[in-house]
Structure 1
Amino acid sequence: MKFLLRLVVVFILLSFILKIFGCTNMGQRIDPTVTNWFEDKKWDKRLLIFNDVGDNVELQLELLNSLPEELEDRDILLVQLTREGSVSNTAKLKAPPMSGSRKRFGIPESEYQMVLVGKDGRVKRRYNALVQPEEIFACIDSMPMRIREMQGLSEKPDDSVGLVDSKLLFDFSDENDIHPWFLLLDGVMGGKSTGNLSAQDGVLTFSGQTSLENNGGFSSIQSTVPRSAMEQMDSFKIKLKGDGRKWILAARKFDTPTADDYWASFETSGHWEEVVIPVSTMRRRVYGFRMFGSIKPEEIKGISFYMYDKNAGPFELQLKSLWSLKNKN
């Protein structure tokens, strides 16, 4: 009994330490200033981002600012990358550091480029020369999300799942939605499980083999999610094809992976299917052990898919898309 009590105390202390420091050595390096600023605009604004090089900047801004109603109608925010990071078609909002913004969107440092970023946070077009606003507006008006806006519709999945609103978080036919995902295996704890992440034909495939050697037995893929991903939402919807084994979707309150997250398990049939997981069903785990605590949708900063069914053997999970949802109830 004393041993169990000591074990619980150790886990609680570890959980507290991880909450303060996170496991930054287990995940990606993230520039929080840049990431947070742009994630705050996601699903709310489309961005036209300029680097401050050459004469085209002022000419392009003049053309665009001459059509304020068109910009407002399409929720376009103009961001000029200067040392101050000014925003030109609103009150002077302070944007994140220039170098981090360039790196995030792959904008060259020494030559002019304007980048169109959609409400989903992905780059849609790059312009290396002066362009007429009508060409930009036509590009935006052809986007599925913009078409739904003009029709007065919100982002909705099919009615078969009984949902009234949604946000597309990851579409794995888009290369930009593949890059944030990375492997985290039980090797960090001395285990022997393997994992591989690949993408082809619009499908992200996570495969490998779990091993129970050295008290291991898990493999996972991890990603951050936009800060606005779960605002007014309460569930996840995943279009996937599993291998017949039981899988886990985990959510966390930190940008980087920790051993303190919230799990919900789901069965897979071996066929393509849609799985809906309410956040309210996710239960806290620390190093796989059940702990007290819950997570609110708006607290979610990262998600993971785990193979951790305490069985050794091959696994494979194929993913097409991931949504956040709001249920009718």
Structure 2
Amino acid sequence: MYTKTLVLLLSCLLSNAVFGYPAHSQYWPHRSVLYFAPANDKYVKQFLLEALINECELQDRDIITLVIAEDGYTDPSWLKEEFDVRMLAKLYEVKKGKHTAILLGKDGEEKHRWGAKTDWQFINRLIDEMPIRKREMQQKRSPCSI
């Protein structure tokens, strides 16, 4: 009995789902862009700058951005304390030494993957074509349109 309980506990603790993002639910209240990089380099800085420039569009589409660099840098900084960032890279099959951005939908599924540079207009259009986003747009007007 004790052995079965121990094996069950260990299998739960070591499963990918436990280390997954986010750990608390299958369906999320937001979309995510996970940006993996070898280091906090010029591409990371550009990604963060562009995310700031596009902040209204990101908020309107319920997108959060997370940066995970192999050198230990994360944005937000608390990310490495809440998640096993190496397991996230493994879970999403990110190649070491490469810049990889991944768009995750509210259903938790990967929607698109790209490299170092982000085409925010393309990402916005891609999201706007998703069924959940179409319903959101019917229910409320974008605060970003002038």
Separation in structure 1 between the aligned mates of residue 30 and residue 102 of structure 2, nearest angstrom: 14
| Equivalences for residues 118-197 of structure 1 within 5 A | 118-152=105-139
**Partner deviation per Cα, 1:51-78 (whole Å, 9 max, x = no partner):** 1235322112211211211111111111
| Equivalences for residues 58-97 of structure 1 within 5 A | 58-82=45-69, 83=72, 85-87=74-76, 92-94=77-79, 95-97=82-84
Higher strand share: 1
Change (3 A) 1:131 1:99: same
Would the aligned equivalents of 2:17 and 2:23 in 1 still touch at CA under 8 Å? no
**Partner deviation per Cα, 1:210-268 (whole Å, 9 max, x = no partner):** xxxxxxxxxxxxxxxxxxxxxxxxxxxxxxxxxxxxxxxxxxxxxxxxxxxxxxxxxxx
Would the aligned equivalents of 1:56 and 1:129 in 2 still touch at CA under 8 Å? yes
1:111 is matched with which residue? Answer: 98
**How much has 1:93 moved relative to structure 2?**
3.9
Q: What is the root-mean-square deviation of aligned Cα atoms in Å? A: 3.0
> Residue 46 of structure 1 is aligned with which of 15, 18, 31?
31
Separation in structure 2 between the aligned mates of residue 120 and residue 39 of structure 1, nearest angstrom: 14
**Partner deviation per Cα, 1:83-128 (whole Å, 9 max, x = no partner):** 25432xxxx5434122111011122211111111111111110111
**How much has 1:152 moved relative to structure 2?**
2.6
Higher helix share: 2
Deviates more, 1:114-123 or 1:38-47: 38-47
Change (3 A) 1:18 1:144: farther
Structure with greater Cα Rg: 1
Structure 2 length-normalised TM? 0.74
Q: Percent identity?
A: 23
Code of the aligned partner of 1:136: I
Structure 1 length-normalised TM? 0.36
Code of the aligned partner of 1:146: R
Code of the aligned partner of 2:22: F
Would the aligned equivalents of 1:84 and 1:97 in 2 still touch at CA under 8 Å? no
Can you give the 5+ residue segments of structure 1 that lack an aligned partner in the other structure? 1-13, 154-329
**Match of 1:77, SS?**
strand
> Residue 56 of structure 1 is aligned with which of 17, 22, 43?
43
**How much has 1:132 moved relative to structure 2?**
2.4
